[in-house]
Structures are given as C-alpha cells and as structure tokens.
Homo-oligomer: A and B are copies of this chain.
Amino acid sequence: MSTHSITIAGKTYGSRLLVGSGKYKDFAENAAAAEASGAEIVTVAIRRVNLGQDAGAPNLLDFIRPERYTLLPNTAGCYTAEDAIRTCRLARELLDGHRLVKLEVLGDPKTLYPDITATLEATKVLVKEGFEVMVYCTDDPIQCKRLEELGCVAVMPLAAPIGSGLGIQNRYNILSIVENAKVPIIVDAGVGTASDAAIAMELGCDGVLMNTAIAEAKNPVLMASAMRHAIIAGREAFLAGRMPRRRYASASSPLDGVIG
C-alpha cells in the first residue's frame, strides 16, 4: 500500500488529490490552482469546456496540458443514462481514444444528487464498450459494492451535495464503503475546506476529488496548496494509526458510546 501514490486502472499517479476545471475566473487561474494542488488528474465537463470543439475560443488544453495532467472527462449535466453514455463516447472521440471517464448521471438539477439506478445502467454499457469508469455515486455501501462488481475502476461516493462544501455527512457510510472495497474509493463532491479532505483520508479513502472548494475559495491557489497538504496529512494520519479517543488521559477512561 503506497503512501502518497494511487493506482487507477493500472496507471500510477503521484497525488491522491483530483481537481476540477470549472468555476474559475479563467483557465490561467485554473492552471495555477492545479499546479499548486499537486494533482495529476484534472476532470473536465466534456459538454461545457472547450477542448478544441470551438477553434476560436480559449482551449483548456493550452493551460491544463495533457502531457502533464491526465484529463478525466466527466458527464456533468447528464440526467439520463443515454445522455451520459453519449457524452463518454464524444469524449473518447475528442481525446483520441481516451478510455478513462468519470460517469455522473444526475437525479435532479437542484440537488445534483446522483440517480443511482441510471448510474448502474450506464455503467454496464460503458464497461462493455471498454471505458475505464470512475463513477460518482451516493454513499450507499450496497450500491458502491455493486458498481465495483460491474467493473468500475474507482468508486466515488459523495461526501455531501456537489458544490455544498458541507463536508462528510455520513462518516459511517464512507467507512463501510472503504472497508468493503477492492478498487480505489475516492470521495467526490461536498468537501468544503482542508480538514474535510483530511477526514476523508483518515477514514481510509484512497483519494478525494474536489472543484468548488478550491475554485470558490477567496484565494484558489492558496486553497489548492492547503488541499495538497490536507490530503498528505490525512493519508499519513491514516497509515500512522491514530491514538484511541477516550474521555481522559488515564487508561481507564474509555468512551462508552453515550455521546456521539
């Protein structure tokens, strides 16, 4: 089990932090934040971001350079399995046969919560078509396992709603998912600040993907650096094995489950 590198679909990355490419002032700020974050994977909403489709507009790939970052096309904005599948195929075309995708099939435009049944359906098709599917999903331990069994290369439960910054709402669910997984578990969505990311890693998650927490900080580049350190901190704390929680220093003061 490596400390700071993570292997997804057979490729090893030097950072357990994955970042996004939306909500920044411009591509330059996005690139500076990605750089400061240490991330090696940058996810891209394939329907919203110009990767060359519009020859006259700024191209993200001139800032987030493919020789440096692994681009992770995602299906943000898709509300049906069909739509998400179509978007993945488009991404493969645009990116010369690129197979790694982040699948998200949303349930409604208000909560941006995943539609888990449509997600399962799309997963089956995409895996069959040879995609390497990283999948955004609810923090439901049963369905996370099913997505793994369907062949996803990483399972990405939400911590809280996309763009909420609320931090991990259900730590027990995340812990159950992690304990039961054989592929990387990467918390996706809901992280708001550095300690949220550290907590995800302390629970044993393999990585964290975030966008808004960095892009909407007052100083995105400094927050990106904070997140880089938070991921390292949480990972090392997990591997180091924390002290037990107890009421007092004395040996005979275990927690008794009264307070939660």
Q: Which of A's residues lie within 8 Å of B, judged by CB?
A: 107-108, 110-117, 120, 138, 140-143, 146, 160-167, 169-173, 175-176, 192-195, 197-199, 202-203, 212-213, 216-220, 222-223, 225-230, 232-237, 239-250, 253-260
Nearest Cβ distance between residue A255 and chain B, in whole angstroms? Answer: 6
Q: Copies of this chain, how many?
A: 4
CA distance in complex: A162, B253 (Å)? 12
| A212 contacts across to B, CB distance below 8 A | 243, 249
Q: Which chain B residue shows the least CB distance to A166?
A: B245
- With A117-B143, A248-B111 known to touch, is A167 a contact of B241 (CB < 8 Å)? no
- Closest CB-CB distance, A183 to chain B, in whole Å? 18
The residue on B at minimum CB distance from A204 is: B258
A120, A194, A244, A257, most chain B CB atoms within 10 A: A194
B249 lies within 8 A of A172 (CB): no
Within the assembled complex, what's the spacing in Å between the Cα atoms of A176 and B147?
25
Q: List 28 A-B contacts (CB under 8 A).
A: A111-B142, A113-B140, A116-B142, A138-B140, A161-B172, A162-B249, A163-B246, A164-B245, A165-B242, A165-B243, A165-B244, A166-B260, A170-B170, A172-B247, A194-B233, A197-B233, A198-B230, A213-B242, A213-B243, A222-B240, A223-B236, A226-B240, A227-B233, A229-B230, A229-B232, A229-B233, A230-B234, A242-B258
Q: How far is the CB of A245 from chain B (nearest CB, A)?
A: 4
Q: In the complex, A198 Cα to B234 Cα: how many Å?
A: 10
Note all chain B residues with C-beta closer than 8 A to A225. Answer: 236
A172 touches B166 (CB 8 A): yes
Q: Is the CB of A223 within 8 A of B248?
A: no
Contact B258 A111 (CB under 8 A): no
Q: What are the 10 tightest A-B residue pairs by CB atom distance, in nearest-first order?
A: A163-B249, A218-B241, A107-B142, A226-B236, A229-B233, A223-B240, A194-B237, A230-B233, A222-B240, A245-B257
B residues in contact with A241, CB < 8 Å: 217-219, 223
Known: A230-B198, A236-B223. Contact between A161 and B120, CB under 8 A?
Answer: no
Per the bound structure, the CA–CA distance linking A254 and B163 in Å amounts to 12
Given the known inter-chain contacts A142-B107, A172-B247, A241-B217, please indicate yes or no for A199 contacting B195, CB distance below 8 A: yes
Task: Give complex CA distance A260, B217 in Å.
Answer: 17
| Residue of chain B at shortest CB distance from A229 | B233
Interface core residue of A164, A176, A242 (most chain B CB under 10 Å):
A242
Q: Are B236 and A194 in contact (CB-based, < 8 A)? A: yes
Residues of chain B contacted by A194 (CB below 8 angstroms): 198, 202, 233-234, 236-237
